Structure 1
């Protein structure tokens, strides 16, 4: 069995992919799939695309339909870091034009912790144990 997190966007999955490549230097992209030219306005947008951050696989895709729902912080991607420098770098990139739910600080349960929504609404919990 394999489990991955699936992130569905409305036309900006590639922008999110580029943001995650910038934030996480160890991102590997295993498969990029695109809608074909005959898909009209969806042409070139991302079909399910697999990336790996650390040991966690994410799938990013653009939906051809608008939905009444979006991302919610009740589901977030939790990332543990080995260095404060790496945490700060990722934090600064992800929260640019996003929302800070809990600012970077020592909350007693770890050395440093932050909870942010990136500019696409994807929720990230960033932790330095």
Structure 2
């Protein structure tokens, strides 16, 4: 089997499914591939995501609702970098991702591209949006 490197998102507030559905609806050509859920005797609430695989415009991601609550969470030091097709796309993505999130760099020309924005979404996941 060919080795793959897949981004795995660990959610600690039982919101993995909500985040996954949000991302799949946000990005074109995206879909949920597989969901495995915790049963009634699991370490988290029944139906929570044990492991799910989804595709965002050709890139595979995985996620779960973590049974233990860890002392760490997502960090902006690791982020998803999205090359946008046009200004309408970067504006749309930034608007949706920043809703109930945190803007770290509003969309602007910072000298290294035509338009760039950085946001931490409502789930704590960091996104860099770029328009060359």
TM-score for both structures, normalised by structure 1: 0.93
Deviation of 1:121 after TM superposition, in Å, equals 0.7
Structure 1 vs Structure 2 CA RMSD: 1.3
User: Partner of 2:66 in structure 1?
Assistant: 63
**Any idea what the Cα deviations from partners look like across 1:53-112, whole Å, max 9, x if unmatched?**
123211111001111100000000101111211111111111100000100111121111
TM-score for both structures, normalised by structure 2: 0.91
Higher percent of residues as helix: 1
In structure 2, list runs of 5 or more residues that go unmatched: none
Given that 1:72 and 1:123 are in contact with CA atoms closer than 8 Å, whether structure 2 keeps it comes out as yes
Match of 2:32 among 29, 32, 36: 29
Say which SS state the counterpart of residue 17 (structure 2) adopts. Answer: helix
In structure 1, list runs of 5 or more residues that go unmatched: none
User: Partner of 2:92 in structure 1?
Assistant: 89
**What is the count of residue pairs matched by the alignment?**
129
Match of 1:43 among 31, 43, 46: 46
